[in-house]
Each structure stands twice: as C-alpha cells, then as structure tokens.
Copies of this chain bind each other. A is one copy, B any other.
Amino acid sequence: MKPFNLDFDLLTGLSRSKESTKRPLSKMKGIYSDAEAFQNVLQSDDPLVYEFYELDLPETSGNLLFGTSIVYPGKIGNEYYMTKGHFHTILETGEVYYCLSGKGGMLMENPEGDWDFQEFSPGKAVYVPPRYAHRSINVGSEPLVTFFTFRADAGHDYGTIETKGYRKLVVDLEGQYEIIDNPRWNQ
C-alpha cells in the first residue's frame, strides 16, 4: 500500500477525481414508510436521493475506508430523504462522520434495542459506536454532506434493515422534524 490523496469539495462533498455510487429513489424500494407516496413519485421521476464514495483498498482490519456521503433534500410522504442505513457485517466496528454542510442527523439503533439520533450541522462530528446501525437523514433544504471513515474490513449488512426496518422514523411535522415509532417495524 502506498500513500495517496483524494479530493472532496468541502461544501458539495463531490470529488473531481472519482465517480460516486448513486442511489436514485428506484433503488430504495421498501425503505420508506409511505409505499403509496413512493410509487407516486416514481411514476413521473426517479430523483437522486443520495450518493457516496467507495474506495477500493484491501479489506484488512488495519486499513480505513473513507469518503463523503451526500443526502439531497426532499421527502417521500412526510419522511425525509435518507440513506438505506446498515449495520457493519463485523458488528463490533464503529464509524466516524464529520458534517461539512447541511442539516440533519444520524439515526442509530443496536440489536439490544437502544436507539439514538445525533444532529448534524456543519462542523459537528458524530460517533457511531460498534454495534449500531446508522442512517443519515436530511431534515433541511440543502444537501447534507458528511465525511466518513470506517475499518476497511467492516462490511455492510443492508439486509437486516431492509427486512426489519428501523424502530424509529424521522418525519416532518409542520416544518420541524419529529422522531416517531415505526408502525411497521418488524421485530
């Protein structure tokens, strides 16, 4: 392994030297609570919900993967645009997110049933401890941009969240975000 560098714009999060991985709405079936609103949007449009960068480093416990995540502003029904959310396959590995721009938060829960929501605003670092599934949510009107770092061997378990959902939803209530129980949470 040799040292290297990579650029990520401090405001937009975008890199001039690397392609991002894109998640348009059509790739998020089953993720949003309001299935009807989800289908209605898709009939006329397939908006980009978020994008992020994936590095190709050896997946060892001594390497770190890093990049930016950009969640665009928007809602499906009353639920804000957000990432799919995932556990790490190696559950005992944490992750660091540093917010560069935008407004939102990180929704987290662990298999033991603890959950938490930490707000993002520019300059705020959020620590996702080992064992916590994590999902970035944009509650503002600008893109939510974070810089993340995690162990290269951690891996992504998207399936658990796709199957069970999150215990909580973050929804818009008259212009403010509110955290509510997920009525469709599948224990």
Contacts and interface: CB of A to CB of B under 8 A. Distances in A.
Contact of A118 (B3, B118, B119): B3
Interface string A3-16: 11111111000000
A5 B94 contact: no
Contacts of A2: 114, 116, 129
Interface residues of A, number: 46
A122 B66 contact: no
A95 to B, nearest CB: 7
B125 A3 contact: no
Given A130-B62, A150-B64, A151-B151, A125 B92 contact: no
A119 B64 contact: no
A21 interface: no
Interface in A59-104: 60-64, 66, 90, 92-96, 98, 100
21 contacts: A2-B129, A3-B106, A3-B108, A3-B118, A3-B129, A5-B126, A7-B125, A8-B98, A8-B125, A9-B123, A10-B100, A10-B122, A60-B92, A61-B151, A62-B90, A62-B151, A63-B129, A66-B125, A66-B127, A98-B147, A149-B149
Given A2-B114, A62-B93, A64-B96, 5 more contacts: A1-B94, A1-B130, A2-B129, A5-B118, A6-B125
